[in-house]
Amino acid sequence: MNKLLIVAGIVLIIIGLVGTYIGKLPGDMVWKKGNTTVYFPIVSSIIVSIVLSLIFMIIGRFK
């Protein structure tokens, strides 16, 4: 369990760093009105979900 948490933490850090440099993907919605900006990262969330599902599926096969 400890190794799984460490791997998950490292994966999340890598995804965060990559997401910082990639920025907004096509399909992510930004709504601006006055001084308010609302960002809906729909496509980014789907991609992160798919990648994490694949990683955990691969980790699960080795157990």
Q: Where are the domains of the chain?
A: 2-61
Question: How would you classify residue 41: left for phi > 0, otherwise alpha for psi between -120 and 50, otherwise beta?
Answer: beta
**Can you list the alpha helix ranges (DSSP code H) found in 1-63?**
2-22, 42-61
**Largest Cα–Cα distance of the chain, in whole Å?**
52
- Tens digits of per-residue pLDDT, 51-61? 889 888 888 88
Q: What is the pLDDT of residues 5-18, one digit of tens each?
A: 888 888 888 877 87
CA dist 11 and 4 (Å) reads: 10
